[in-house]
Amino acid sequence: MNKQLMILASALVLVTGCEQAQKAQESYSTISQLSKAGENIEETMDKAKTQRTEREQRGDTLSLPYKELQQYLPTTVSGYTAGELSGQSQKMSGISFSMADREYTAGESTVKVSLVDYNGADEMYQGMAAMYSLGLEQENDEKILGPTTLKMDGVNGMETFYKKDGRAEMSLAINGRFLLNLTADKQKDMSLLKSIAEDMDLEKLSKM
């Protein structure tokens, strides 16, 4: 139980920041709710470890080269002009990961898509994936935050819409390995980011 509470508290800070984390913790005020959230986090982390073990048994222990990762980014976004691809592969102290990014513009509006492969940095991934297992929901005058409504096997995450300036953010954890971040400004809702994610070949990533 103590382990679950420690994991939960850490994840809340990462998701909401210090001040909002306090409010979020207040919403999980009962022991039963804390216990359930802790169980969800532990289940998510255990699943990620199992997926990691299966990849190790296949000899798949390295992140994809960033050039290969770029191939999974959208080539087009409806109504937007695609910018140049960027990315990098990085290794340090026994940890390795790769990332690929692309921006899309339409007038003053910008969409950003970033895909990270944490296959060589399992512990980094587990901490972030744990956040998405909380099922945290929050709404106030500033924003609406909650679990993603995308229905894809091996994919879960969170989405946030900022009411006042129309910013939309979506983060998706994929198969214990990949993290997909999508952001857009000047939006009315989450529909654009959802359509982008649905058009990407996430099913292939979820099977790696």
CATH code of residue 127:
3.40.1000.70
Looking at residue 164, its pLDDT comes to 95
The answer to whether 40 touches 75, Cβ cutoff 8 Å, is: no
Domain count, the chain: 1
pLDDT of 71-122, one tens digit each?
999 999 999 999 999 999 888 777 778 999 999 999 999 999 999 998 766 6
Domain annotation covers residue 1: no
For residue 25, which phi and psi values (nearest 5 degrees)?
-65, -35
Distance CA(61)–CA(119), nearest Å, equals 6
Which residue would you say has higher pLDDT here, 17 or 186? 186
Reported pTM: 0.73
Domain annotation covers residue 44: no
Domain annotation covers residue 194: yes
Q: Which residues pair with 139 in a beta bridge?
A: 144
> Domain range spanning residue 77?
62-206
pLDDT of 140-199, one tens digit each?
999 999 998 788 877 888 999 999 999 999 999 888 789 999 999 999 999 999 999 999
Distance CA(98)–CA(85), nearest Å, equals 14
